[in-house]
Amino acid sequence: MLQQVSIPIRTECPPGACVCEREILLRDPDADLRPLRLTRAEEQRLLERIDVVGSY
């Protein structure tokens, strides 16, 4: 059974797009869910910050 998560987590990626093993992490009650906290919006924000630092 999938665990209930109270934080926003990344939506499921299209098949073959990544290897985050989202479903496996959600099934394991002891799993570290931090990688799933990188939502698409957070990923975009992080990339923008990296771009700013890279052009500094």
| Residue pLDDT, tens place only, 3-16 | 777 778 888 888 88
- Closest by CA to 13, choosing from 46, 47, 45, 36, is 36
pTM comes to: 0.58
Backbone angle region of 9, left / alpha / beta, with phi > 0 → left and psi within -120 to 50 → alpha: beta
**In the chain, what percentage of residues exceed pLDDT 70?**
93
- How much is the pLDDT for 1? 66
The residues spanned by each domain of the chain are: 22-54
Tell me: pLDDT of 35 over 90. no
Higher pLDDT, 53 or 3: 53
The larger pLDDT score, comparing residue 48 to residue 55, is at 48
